[in-house]
Amino acid sequence: MANIIEVEDLHFRYRDGTEALRGLSLSIRKGSRVAILGPNGAGKSTLLLHLNGIYLPARGKVRILGREITAKTERWVKSKVGLVFQDPDDQVFSSSVWEDVSFGPINMNLSAEEVRTRVEQALRAVQMEEHKNKAPYHLSYGQKKRVAIAGVLAMEPEIIVLDEPMGYLDPRGKDNLLAILNELHRREITIVIATHDVDLAAEWADRVIIMKNGRTLAEGDTSLLADEELVRAADLRFPVVVEIFRRLPELNLNPLPKTISEAVEVIRAELKHASWEHF
């Protein structure tokens, strides 16, 4: 199957009348790394909450692995799509970290042994094993975010959706999460994140979806992040690497480097060139 996620003309209105999604369509291929960007209030979180059936479409369709999400397939979809909420306080509520992370696997009717293995692995992955007996409400915000991520990892879903995954994580925690996402990608898990971090999107994503006013403004590869008109329209800014090379038009680069590795390569080539000129 080409597209593991398909959203077609999705509309959603909150009870107070706010039209959060207004005819949004997008498609995501299996195994891809997708970053969803867009201004505050664009509808990113509302969209993500549709991807595992927490919200059901008011109009339009969401298909996961070719199957439409409805009240009937809701339970099935929750086993396929793991969602890490933007705010860990909406997700982490059990009386201990261990209990919280085991909640999903227990509900999947796995054996006690399998539940234990998965919870241990997930807590180790987010470096929270030493806090396993702690009450989540005594944790720092970043620690709660790690527990929320562990809860989803322990369910081993085919699709992992993370809303602002790096929020509140310290630099080492961010690097560690990036390593987890890379490992999941290696295992062909489809990963979707909503983020305001254009630098992360430029480094990590192979597909970028830009949202505004409850619709898709643009879909494409990370070159969208160097598109002046789009960046302005979506209230984004250029990734730092792009910004640096935009200020060096004399290098005549097209396309501009977007990742640190690409930048290093270009600079190294320029240095070589310069040292030849010196002779």
Ligand X SMILES: Nc1ncnc2c1ncn2[C@@H]1O[C@H](COP(=O)(O)OP(=O)(O)OP(=O)(O)O)[C@@H](O)[C@H]1O
With both helix axes pointing from N to C terminus, report the angle between 97-107 and 141-153 in degrees, rounded to the nearest 10.
20
Parallel, antiparallel, or unpaired for β 3-13 and 59-64? antiparallel
Using DSSP's 3-state secondary structure scheme, residue 209 falls into strand
Residue found by looking up tokens 């910004």 in the block: 243
Between 44 and 258, whose beta carbon lies closer to Mg ion? Answer: 44
Out of 16, 113, 130, 228, the only residue in the binding site for ligand X (CB under 6 A) is: 16
Could you tell me the two tokens for 239? 């990734």
Min. distance of Cβ 163 from Mg ion in angstroms? 6
Min. distance of Cβ 96 from ligand X in angstroms? 29
Given a contact cutoff of 8 angstroms between Cβ atoms, the answer to whether 80 and 158 are in contact is yes
Out of 43, 53, 157, 165, the only residue in the binding site for ligand X (CB under 6 A) is: 43
Q: Is 235 in the site for ligand X (CB under 6 A)?
A: no
- Write down the H helix ranges in 19-111: 44-51, 74-80, 97-107
Residue 30: DSSP 8-state: T
Q: Which does 18 bind (CB under 5 to 8 A by kind): Mg ion, ligand X, none?
A: ligand X
C-alpha–C-alpha distance, residues 42 and 215, integer Å: 8
Q: Which does 234 bind (CB under 5 to 8 A by kind): ligand X, Mg ion, none?
A: none
Q: Which does 10 bind (CB under 5 to 8 A by kind): ligand X, Mg ion, none?
A: none
Q: Sort 192 into a burial class: Cβ within 10 Å, 0-12 / 13-18 / 19+.
A: buried
Parallel, antiparallel, or unpaired for β 207-212 and 215-220? antiparallel
Instruction: Tell me the residue type at 169.
Output: L
Min. distance of Cβ 256 from ligand X in angstroms? 26
Q: Is 32 in the site for Mg ion (CB under 5 A)?
A: no
Q: Is 45 in the site for Mg ion (CB under 5 A)?
A: yes
Between 69 and 110, whose beta carbon lies closer to ligand X? Answer: 69
Out of 4, 37, 44, 51, the only residue in the binding site for ligand X (CB under 6 A) is: 44
Between 52 and 102, whose beta carbon lies closer to ligand X? Answer: 52
C-alpha–C-alpha distance, residues 266 and 251, integer Å: 9
| Site stretch for Mg ion (CB under 5 A), options 12-20, 37-45, 151-159, 166-174 | 37-45
Q: Is 216 in the site for ligand X (CB under 6 A)?
A: no
Instruction: Give residues in contact with ligand X (CB under 6 A).
Output: 14, 16, 18, 20, 38, 40-46, 86
